[in-house]
Amino acid sequence: MSTADIAIIGAGAVGCAAARRFALEGAKVVLLEKGADLLSGASKANSAILHTGFDAPRGSVELACMQEGRREYLAIRERMNLPLLETGAIVVAWSEAERAALDGIEAQAIENGVTDVRRLTAAEIRLREPELSRSVLEALLVPGEHVIDPWSPFLAYLIEAKTQGAELRFSTEVLGGDFDGEVWRLSTSTGEVRANAVINAAGLYGDRIERLLLGDASFEIRPRKGQFVVFDKAAAKLVRSIVLPVPNERTKGVVLCRTAFGNVLVGPTAEEQEDRTRATVEEATLKGLVARAVEMVPALAEVDVTAVYAGLRPASEEKGYRIRVEAERRWISLGGVRSTGLTASLGLAALAVRIYSEIGQGHAAAKDPVWPKVPNIAEHLPRDWEQSDHGEIVCHCELVTRREIEIALDGPVPPGDFGGLKRRTRAGMGRCQGFNCNARLASLTAGRFAAPLAKDEAA
Amino acid sequence: MSVPADHTNVVIVGAGPAGLAAATELKRLGVGSVVVVEREREAGGVPRHCGHPPFGMREFKCVLTGPSYARRLARRAARAGVDLRLQTTVVAIDRDGDDPAVTLTSPEGVSAVRAERILLATGVRERTRAQRFASGDRPLGVMNTGALQAYAYLERLAPFRRPLIVGTELVALSSLLTCRAIGAEPVAMVETGAGPTVPEVYMMLPWLLGVPRFYSAEIVDIFGAPRVEGVTLRLAGGGTETIACDGVVFTGGFQPEATLVRAAGLELDRGTLGPSIDQFGRTSDPRIFAAGNVLRPVETAGWSWEEGRRVAGFIAEDMKGLLPVHQGAARLRPGPGVRYVVPQRLALGGGGLSQLQLRLGARSEGRLVARGKGRELASAPVAARAEQRVLFRSDLLGPVSGDVTISLEER
Ligand SMILES: Cc1cc2nc3c(=O)[nH]c(=O)nc-3n(C[C@H](O)[C@H](O)[C@H](O)COP(=O)(O)OP(=O)(O)OC[C@H]3O[C@@H](n4cnc5c(N)ncnc54)[C@H](O)[C@@H]3O)c2cc1C
Ligand SMILES: Cc1cc2nc3c(=O)[nH]c(=O)nc-3n(C[C@H](O)[C@H](O)[C@H](O)COP(=O)(O)OP(=O)(O)OC[C@H]3O[C@@H](n4cnc5c(N)ncnc54)[C@H](O)[C@@H]3O)c2cc1C
């Protein structure tokens, strides 16, 4: 059995970015993911905002990684065909107390290097956001906050990693392992894996992985659930900016923003829970979110709900990221990446490479890396249905073509489950939620997923 | 997106019973070119996947299953000379210009067709799990009846073996039959109301099939991964019950497929969530008509077919300049106890569909009273369940203008 340079545990946002970075550095990477597809954990459900770090803790690793990650995303995105919806954000004061807090937020933004922020008067807000409730008092405009497609970047990173020789092992759970002074021997549900170094990017299980492999955990994961409601595409013309509340200690609060797919979302909540697997939606909470959205933008009362979802943040008992380095044992934990990992992932990957260059061996970086382009699924850019020979429209609400589905299924990193197909194509994610296409998708994907859509042939 | 458009007399969006009936009728009335645009691979609309009878009594004077009914309608339209374009989706309606146009995507790519008149016949769908805010995980196996039917009758697949059925509209019974067709055994029927939406006698079917019924019961948790493993209900008395199952079917709660209506900026009715029309089926843009279940939740295939046929007649008259002006129509509004009224407008001069279609908010008995300008215009006795068809003759109102409200006065 060959020994990899680096085993990365977890194909979430952080693990996928790390796999790409290390593969580009010339390391032999093996990525181990217990789910059937990438983004099976915390990373499958978030607000999809590419943050500036304007409100991140001063001088923190989190801030540095967010800003480095954001910069890299903006630099590489066009080559990989990754979208950017340049919405800008407004931090909105709805009360005098919140208004008083804007000074501090503005000062922090400037200190964090986000210097293009600017105050908006109620009249200016009305011009920019005519549908926003008139009870708004004042806002801070953060032009650099943008919306992205939260899934395609990580697919692109894994395709790139694979092109550079990385081995991607899905449905592979790390169950234990030890380090003999030279090599890590990881026992997994699909056999032993050997590597010279380990990156722990296990998200909601980061502490458990430390305990399992290092004997002790340097932090404790405290899952924090966020529920969301997605409004129909008809809502997209009602909001331009990301509407952020004045944040409090625990959370950035409930956000209202467009999505890259032409919808509007409201959420997330911040609910502590013990359970690391169940991210349930709850009727009362969802209705509360709709009510909050309608308070902010009254015209949303007339718009249908398209989808509801929930995600778990891998928060820990402390606020910041939990980076643990064990030089002797050649181990790096990228843990506790609770609510900014979409933005920070590339920055965390770069950080890991810097740490590794001190504790691991050197590699010759790939000379002319290829830049795989992923199919666009964002609404504001050309889609496959606009081209000829697309086969047919399979998902009518999201106008997903048969060719798009076939390309995903036959791609270099094919989806391991239906969720993976949805994230690659948007099939079934529209307003009818599969009323029209679910059965057709069951046929088109027969034999592809460990958990197939159809349980059986009809009796 | 702007592509040069073909020109035609009438474009019909949707080849369900309403669209096909309208197309066939337009040809019979001598309209030159009639294009029907249908996004699915086959014409026929929802009946394509309703594998059970009874369909076709009104149209073919015999009892057919949905799929054979759908095929017959399609054949009749083809024979009449209708230009039926399958696998073609209308993605937008462009209302600028003298004639409106539809933008299409098909396997050949994007194209456009301009037409003197457009008829929207896009039908209904059922309210999704998300729209109902049902709590719990989001596993495989949760769907609407329409999807279940497509599994069973279009793809010959079974999405589950032991599903739980939510709702007691007629379509819930149809989902029981569909389950039987794929060899699945429903474990329960769950209804939030205190009794079934259909008349009590219909509930013989689940009783005969041995499917337990739960009334005043609410889903508080759907759980399982990757597939549904069970559902927890809150029962009438306040207790809970957990039922093992491998699927959940959310039935009914119909809603017009009115995406195009909204996107085109046509007036939408809050009661039906479909386009608001006058007695000739004209939407707020008089060049664009609508018929069939896109108008309201929900009618039968036969009704939608008849409506398509009638509205086709109005379109043909309109093309000869024979319909009364669109402006200055009276507005019909639902008052207390009434969920919706279709049509929502009455153009001056009468004619058109002779019946107003209403639904009551809940099962009730009493009088429907139409009032305009503070005056009672007409009234009629009514006794109906929530989703039951209620009709009110529009000629009873006499010539009307301004706002007319139709309310329920309970006995
Ligand atoms: C509600 C919400 C909103 C958010 N909004 C934003 C936002 O707008 N912008 C932003 O930048 N960030 C946002 N985030 C944060 C971002 O989603 C997370 O920071 C990020 O997803 C964390 O990624 P991760 O890779 O650390 O964890 P995960 O995605 O959980 O990845 C860990 C992976 O490890 C796998 N794994 C675990 N144990 C094992 C094992 N034993 N063997 C093999 N594999 C294993 C898991 O299956 C999982 O796939 C949000 C998060 C939430 C929940
Ligand atoms: C699950 C379900 C079960 C039902 N069961 C019964 C039953 O047993 N008996 C009964 O009488 N009625 C039943 N109905 C009611 C049904 O709506 C009517 O039978 C009938 O189909 C209505 O006809 P229609 O032409 O208005 O709409 P539909 O039959 O729904 O036809 C609309 C057509 O428009 C097409 N379309 C929509 N948008 C576009 C677009 N943008 N571009 C191109 N094409 C488009 C659709 O693909 C569809 O083919 C059921 C409805 C549902 C949803």
pLDDT 10s per residue in chain B (411 long)?
456 778 999 999 999 999 999 999 999 999 999 999 999 999 999 999 999 999 999 999 999 999 999 999 999 999 999 999 999 999 999 999 999 999 999 999 999 999 999 999 999 999 999 999 999 999 999 999 999 999 999 999 999 999 999 999 999 999 999 999 999 999 999 999 999 999 999 999 999 999 999 999 999 999 999 999 999 999 998 999 999 999 999 999 999 999 999 999 999 999 999 999 999 999 999 999 999 999 999 999 999 999 999 999 999 999 999 999 988 889 999 999 999 999 999 999 889 999 999 999 999 999 999 999 989 999 999 999 999 999 999 999 999 999 999 999 987
Q: Of chain B residues 267-296, which have a CB less than 8 A from chain A?
A: 270
Interface test with A, best of B231, B259, B266, B270 (most A CBs within 10 A): B259
**Calpha distance B145→B159 (Å, rounded):** 12
Is residue A451 included in any domain, yes or no?
A: no
Helix %, strand %, coil % of chain A (to 5): 30, 25, 45
Ligand nearest to the CA of B308: 2
Residue of A137, A161, A303 whose CA lies nearest to A233 = A303
Is residue A68 included in any domain, yes or no?
A: no
Is residue A239 included in any domain, yes or no?
A: yes
CB A178 within 8 A of CB A185: yes
Instruction: With CB atoms and an 8 Å threshold, state whether B151 touches A442.
Output: yes
Instruction: With CB atoms and an 8 Å threshold, state whether A457 touches B126.
Output: no
Residue A201: DSSP 8-state:
-
Task: Please give the distance, rounded to the nearest whole angstrom, from the Cα atom of residue A233 to the centre of ligand 2.
Answer: 22
Phi-psi region at A31: left, alpha or beta (left = phi > 0; alpha = psi -120 to 50): beta
Task: Please give the distance, rounded to the nearest whole angstrom, from the Cα atom of residue A32 to the centre of ligand 1.
Answer: 15
- Indicate if A140 and A233 belong to the same structural domain: yes
Contacts of A83 (CB under 8 A, 6+ apart): A77, A148, A149, A152, A260, A376, A378, A380, A381
B284: its two tokens: 């707020």
Instruction: With CB atoms and an 8 Å threshold, state whether B135 touches A455.
Output: no
The 10 Å CB-count burial string (b at 16+, else e) for B349-383 is: eebbbeebbbbbeeebebebbbbbeeeebbbeebe
Contacts of B61 (CB under 8 A, 6+ apart): none
Q: Which of A313, A341, A367 is the last residue of a domain?
A: A313
**Calpha distance A182→A197 (Å, rounded):** 9
Number of domains in chain A: 3
Q: Of B126, B130, B160, which has the smallest distance from its Cβ to A306's Cβ?
A: B130
Distance from CA of B398 to the nearest CA of A (A): 33
- Indicate if A93 and A124 belong to the same structural domain: yes
Interface test with A, best of B85, B138, B179, B250 (most A CBs within 10 A): B138
A286 vs B contacts (CB less than 8 Å): 133
Q: Of B91, B135, B182, which has the smallest distance from its Cβ to A283's Cβ?
A: B135
Distance from CA of A397 to the nearest CA of B (A): 9
Kindly state the helix (H) or strand (E) to which residue A167 belongs, with its residue range. strand A167-169
Instruction: With CB atoms and an 8 Å threshold, state whether B136 touches A451.
Output: no
Contacts of A250 (CB under 8 A, 6+ apart): A270
- Indicate if A432 and A394 belong to the same structural domain: yes
Identify the CATH homologous superfamily for domain B128-252. FAD/NAD(P)-binding domain (3.50.50.60)
Q: Which residues pair with B364 in a beta bridge?
A: B384
**Calpha distance B158→A390 (Å, rounded):** 28
Interface test with A, best of B39, B110, B140, B219 (most A CBs within 10 A): B140
Enter the pTM of the model. Answer: 0.97
Place of tokens 């259909």: B198
Residue A250: what pLDDT?
65
Q: Of A302, A307, A386, which has the smallest distance from its Cβ to B130's Cβ?
A: A307
Ligand nearest to the CA of A16: 1
Measured from the Cβ of residue B9, the count of other Cβ atoms closer than 10 Å reads 17
Q: Of B107, B181, B182, which has the smallest distance from its Cβ to A391's Cβ?
A: B107
Distance from CA of A451 to the nearest CA of B (A): 7
- Half-sphere exposure of A99 toward its Cβ, with a 13 Å CA cutoff? 10
Q: Of B105, B155, B183, which has the smallest distance from its Cβ to A440's Cβ?
A: B155
- What residue of A is the nearest CA neighbor of B140? A453
- Identify which of B59, B65, B122 to mutate to test ligand 2's pocket (most ligand atoms within 8 A of the CB): B122
Instruction: With CB atoms and an 8 Å threshold, state whether A435 touches B147.
Output: yes
B107: its two tokens: 């396997």
Kindly state the helix (H) or strand (E) to which residue A284 belongs, with its residue range. helix A283-296
Is residue A452 included in any domain, yes or no?
A: no
The identity of residue A375, as a single letter, is: P
Q: Where in chain B is the domain with CATH 3.50.50.60?
A: 1-127+253-323, 128-252
SS3 A366: coil
**Calpha distance B163→B253 (Å, rounded):** 18
CB A376 within 8 A of CB A387: no
CB pairs under 8 A between A and B: 147
Instruction: With CB atoms and an 8 Å threshold, state whether A456 touches B146.
Output: no
Query: Nearest 10 degrees: CA dihedral of B380, B386, B391, B392?
Result: 40
Task: Please give the distance, rounded to the nearest whole angstrom, from the Cα atom of residue B51 to the centre of ligand 2.
Answer: 14
Residue B189: DSSP 8-state:
E
Instruction: Please give the number of the atom of ligand 2 that sits closest to the Cα of A436.
Output: 47
Ligand nearest to the CA of A339: 1
Residue A393: DSSP 8-state:
E
| pLDDT by residue, tens only, chain A of 459 residues | 799 999 999 999 999 999 999 999 999 999 999 999 999 999 999 999 999 999 999 999 999 999 999 999 999 999 999 999 999 999 999 999 999 999 999 999 999 999 999 999 999 999 999 999 999 999 999 999 999 999 999 999 999 999 999 999 999 999 999 999 999 999 999 999 999 999 999 999 999 999 999 999 999 999 999 999 999 999 999 999 999 999 876 667 899 999 999 999 999 999 999 999 999 999 999 999 999 999 999 999 999 999 999 999 999 999 999 999 999 999 999 999 999 999 999 999 999 999 999 997 778 887 888 899 999 999 999 999 999 999 999 999 999 999 999 999 999 999 999 999 999 999 999 999 999 999 999 999 999 999 999 988 877
Counts of helices then strands in chain B (DSSP H, E): 9, 26
Measured from the Cβ of residue A191, the count of other Cβ atoms closer than 10 Å reads 10
- Indicate if A159 and A216 belong to the same structural domain: yes
Cα angle B116, B120, B124 (rounded to 5 degrees) comes to: 175
Task: Please give the distance, rounded to the nearest whole angstrom, from the Cα atom of residue A399 to the centre of ligand 2.
Answer: 19
- Indicate if A209 and A230 belong to the same structural domain: no
- What residue of B is the nearest CA neighbor of A438? B147
The string of DSSP codes covering A34-98 is SSSSTT-SGGGS---EE---TTSPTT-HHHHHHHHHHHHHHHHTTTTT---B---EEEEE-SHHH
Give B12-62 pLDDT, tens digit per residue. Answer: 999 999 999 999 999 999 999 999 999 999 999 999 999 999 999 999 999
Q: Which of A287, A313, A339 is the last residue of a domain?
A: A313
CB A260 within 8 A of CB A148: yes
Residue B3: what pLDDT?
65
Instruction: With CB atoms and an 8 Å threshold, state whether A451 touches B160.
Output: no
Q: Note the Cα A220 to chain centre separation in Å.
A: 21
Is residue A278 included in any domain, yes or no?
A: yes
- Indicate if A160 and A278 belong to the same structural domain: no
Instruction: With CB atoms and an 8 Å threshold, state whether B133 touches A283.
Output: yes
Instruction: With CB atoms and an 8 Å threshold, state whether B144 touches A435.
Output: yes
Is residue A74 included in any domain, yes or no?
A: no
- Indicate if A207 and A96 belong to the same structural domain: no
Instruction: With CB atoms and an 8 Å threshold, state whether A305 touches B130.
Output: yes
Instruction: Identify the residue whose C-alpha is closest to ligand 1 atom 33.
Output: A10
Query: Residue A321's domain spans which residues?
Result: 4-47+151-220+317-358
Instruction: With CB atoms and an 8 Å threshold, state whether B128 touches A435.
Output: yes
Is residue A371 included in any domain, yes or no?
A: no
Distance from CA of B395 to the nearest CA of A (A): 33
- Indicate if A233 and A293 belong to the same structural domain: yes
Q: Is B3 on the interface with A (CB under 8 A)?
A: no
The identity of residue A229, as a single letter, is: V
Instruction: Identify the residue whose C-alpha is closest to ligand 2 atom 41.
Output: B90
**Calpha distance B94→B111 (Å, rounded):** 12
- Indicate if A158 and A202 belong to the same structural domain: yes
Give A168-178 pLDDT, tens digit per residue. Answer: 999 999 999 99
Distance from CA of B344 to the nearest CA of A (A): 18
Distance from CA of B63 to the nearest CA of A (A): 25
Distances (CA, A) of A5 to A58, A153, B272: 34, 24, 62
Ligand nearest to the CA of B174: 2
**Calpha distance B44→A215 (Å, rounded):** 64
- Indicate if A106 and A157 belong to the same structural domain: no
Distance from CA of B325 to the nearest CA of A (A): 30
CATH number for position A13: 3.50.50.60
Task: Please give the distance, rounded to the nearest whole angstrom, from the Cα atom of residue B19 to the centre of ligand 2.
Answer: 10
The 10 Å CB-count burial string (b at 16+, else e) for A375-403 is: bbbbbbeebbbeeeebebbbbbbbbbbbb
Place of tokens 């896009």: B122
Instruction: With CB atoms and an 8 Å threshold, state whether A281 touches B136.
Output: yes
- Indicate if A272 and A401 belong to the same structural domain: no
- Indicate if A109 and A233 belong to the same structural domain: yes
**Calpha distance A157→A146 (Å, rounded):** 20
Cα angle A431, A265, B253 (rounded to 5 degrees) comes to: 35
Instruction: Identify the residue whose C-alpha is closest to ligand 1 atom 4.
Output: A46
A433 vs B contacts (CB less than 8 Å): 128-130, 144
A281 vs B contacts (CB less than 8 Å): 133-136, 138
* Residues at CB less than 6 angstroms from ligand 1: A 9-15, 32-35, 40-43, 46-49, 51, 173-174, 201-205, 209, 226, 268, 311-314, 337-343
What does CATH list as the number for B1-127+253-323?
3.50.50.60
Is residue A194 included in any domain, yes or no?
A: yes
Distances (CA, A) of A18 to A68, A163, A401, A434, B326: 14, 14, 32, 34, 64
**Calpha distance B271→B284 (Å, rounded):** 16
Contacts of B325 (CB under 8 A, 6+ apart): B347, B348
Distance from CA of B368 to the nearest CA of A (A): 28
- What residue of B is the nearest CA neighbor of A443? B155
Contacts of B237 (CB under 8 A, 6+ apart): none
Residue B1: what pLDDT?
47
